[in-house]
């Protein structure tokens, strides 16, 4: 059985994944000579940098997602298929999915990365990751359910476990959610949960490295640490997590933190698809590619974004797994696919580092540009502008802007809802 796609004389490009890389590529090819099939397990694009704001009730989920079909309504050469890819058969130039076979002339893998639990099954089972809007909503539910439970129990130890919040990982995701939770502790919990002693709400940020925001400048790292500590976050550097059983987080050396919830932001690993030779998969489950993003040993399979590992001078382990790399690789690949259709030579990918940034709450952010390093209010304004600009859809940009203004003025966004199905409640 084959997935229903019109058979035409056009060469077919199949893109697996509708994240930053896959979406950018599909948009760049929508007026090309190719027939393009975009495959994703969801029917929408997710704006991952703002997941933490959904998790902390700062934004509605709908304001950071965008329907894929709406984006390509007017493009007759773009087809959307919502399914998962189980296996690649390079020798037959086809993909195996639960709905059947999907043939390709050119295959682009842009299926991204997932949380890395470093082989610890307990942590994988009990910790809360932040890799999808669904997981962000799960965290939002857990936060407010635990506040409600803390009001109900009269056991001091159990109450403490409900109120403790532990974040593992001191990269941008960990730092940003720690800052957002600290502001929630200061401005929301005293109003919504006046019966609780807000001083009993402890936010722990556990980082295995000696610095926060590894990969950014020393100034950014030090400023982020200072901002978090001023907000009351208990930052533990050089601390490694050994286990988490759903009740206690165990650190190397034996120290334990009682916590009903642990937010896992400690690393990523490439999503697996069977069918590629083992020798092109690196230690982080990324796919090794050449300077044209071609999978090593192939001429019609490409990989872009977080899943691609392009080793070059200055990037011996591949490029950083950030949105700008994904977007730039996708744009270069689009040009190269158009060049292939016209029998022209391809252009090698060269990454242009536009800088890094992270926010730690209201008027607190760090920005590293090529020749400029900023911390504080101006950096925060840059962060707001860049992220607003990157959102897809005028409506989303407008709603996010309104929410940000409202939150800035009143600290009282009315999104603190626990939404569960009957099955989840039971």
Fold of the domain built from segment(s) 121-266+362-425: FAD/NAD(P)-binding domain (3.50.50)
Let me know: does 46 contact 132? Beta carbons within 8 Å: yes
Which residue from 21, 38, 18 is spatially nearest to 78, judged by alpha carbons? 38
Residues of the chain falling short of pLDDT 70: 422-426
Catalytic residue check, 124: no
Query: In the numeric block, which tokens belong to residue 381?
Result: 């304004």
pLDDT reported for residue 293:
98
| DSSP H/E element including 258 | strand 256-258
Which residue from 328, 380, 382 is spatially nearest to 351, judged by alpha carbons? 328
User: Do 12-41+83-115+269-341 and 121-266+362-425 fold alike per CATH?
Assistant: yes
**Cα 158 to Cα 145: distance, rounded to the nearest angstrom:** 14
pLDDT reported for residue 313:
85
Query: In the numeric block, which tokens belong to residue 304?
Result: 């872009």
Query: In the numeric block, which tokens belong to residue 202?
Result: 């402890």
Q: Is 204 left (phi over 0), alpha (psi -120 to 50) or beta?
A: beta
Let me know: does 85 contact 273? Beta carbons within 8 Å: yes
Domain boundaries, the chain: 12-41+83-115+269-341, 121-266+362-425
Query: In the numeric block, which tokens belong to residue 57?
Result: 């009730």
**Cα 339 to Cα 11: distance, rounded to the nearest angstrom:** 13
Let me know: does 333 contact 302? Beta carbons within 8 Å: yes
By CB atoms closer than 10 A (0-12, 13-18, 19+), residue 205 is: buried
pLDDT reported for residue 425:
67
Q: What are the CA-CA distances from residue 381 to residues 84, 378, 384 (Å)?
A: 39, 5, 5
By CB atoms closer than 10 A (0-12, 13-18, 19+), residue 207 is: buried
pLDDT reported for residue 276:
96
Our measurement of the distance from residue 110's CA atom to the centroid of its chain's CA atoms, rounded to an integer in Å, reads 14
What's the pLDDT tens digit per position in 191-227? 999 999 999 999 999 999 999 999 899 999 999 999 9
Tokens 């490295």: give the residue: 209
pLDDT reported for residue 183:
95
Q: What are phi and psi of 96, to 5 degrees?
A: -105, 125
Let me know: does 397 contact 391? Beta carbons within 8 Å: yes
What's the pLDDT tens digit per position in 328-369? 999 999 999 999 999 999 999 999 999 999 999 999 999 999
pLDDT reported for residue 416:
84
| Catalytic member of 135, 176, 183, 288 | 176
Fold of the domain built from segment(s) 12-41+83-115+269-341: FAD/NAD(P)-binding domain (3.50.50)
Tokens 């900023």: give the residue: 374
Let me know: does 213 contact 175? Beta carbons within 8 Å: yes
């Amino acid at each position: 059985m084959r997935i229903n796609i019109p058979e035409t004389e056009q060469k077919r490009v199949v893109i697996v994944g509708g994240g930053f890389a896959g979406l950018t590529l599909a948009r760049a090819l929508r007026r090309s000579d190719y027939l393009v099939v975009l495959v994703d397990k969801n029917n929408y694009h997710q704006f991952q940098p703002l997941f933490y704001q959904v998790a902390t009730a700062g934004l509605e989920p709908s304001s950071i997602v965008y329907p894929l079909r709406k984006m390509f309504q007017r493009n007759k050469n773009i087809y959307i298929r919502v399914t998962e890819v189980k296996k690649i058969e390079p020798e037959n130039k086809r993909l195996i999915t639960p709905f059947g076979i999907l043939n390709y002339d050119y295959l682009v893998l842009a299926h991204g990365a997932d949380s890395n639990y470093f082989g610890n099954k307990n942590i994988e089972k009990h910790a809360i990751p932040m890799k999808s809007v669904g997981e962000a909503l799960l965290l939002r539910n857990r936060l407010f359910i635990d506040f409600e439970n803390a009001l109900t129990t009269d056991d001091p130890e159990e109450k403490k476990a409900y109120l403790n919040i532990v974040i593992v990982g001191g990269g941008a995701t960990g730092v940003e959610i720690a800052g957002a939770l600290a502001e929630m502790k200061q401005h929301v919990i005293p109003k919504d949960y006046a019966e609780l002693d807000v001083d009993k709400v402890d936010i722990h940020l556990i980082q295995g490295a000696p610095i926060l925001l590894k990969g950014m400048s020393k100034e950014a790292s030090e400023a982020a640490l200072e901002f978090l500590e001023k907000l009351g976050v208990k930052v533990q550097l050089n601390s490694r997590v050994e286990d988490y059983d759903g009740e206690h987080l165990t650190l190397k050396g034996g120290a334990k933190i009682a916590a009903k919830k642990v937010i896992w932001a400690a690393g990523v690993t490439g999503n697996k698809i069977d069918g590629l030779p083992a020798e092109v998969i690196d230690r982080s489950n990324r796919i090794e590619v050449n300077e044209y993003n071609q999978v090593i040993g192939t001429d019609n399979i490409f990989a872009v974004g977080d899943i691609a590992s392009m080793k070059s001078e200055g990037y011996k382990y591949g490029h950083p797994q950030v949105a700008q790399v994904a977007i730039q690789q996708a744009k270069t690949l689009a040009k190269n696919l158009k060049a292939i259709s016209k029998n022209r030579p391809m252009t090698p990918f060269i990454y242009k580092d536009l800088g890094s940034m992270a926010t730690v709450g209201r008027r607190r952010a760090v920005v590293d540009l090529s020749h400029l390093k900023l911390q504080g209010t101006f950096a925060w304004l840059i962060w707001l502008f860049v992220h607003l600009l990157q959102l897809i859809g005028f409506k989303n940009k407008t709603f996010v802007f309104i929410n940000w203004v409202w939150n800035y003025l009143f600290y009282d966004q009315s999104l603190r809802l626990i939404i569960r199905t009957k099955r989840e409640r039971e």
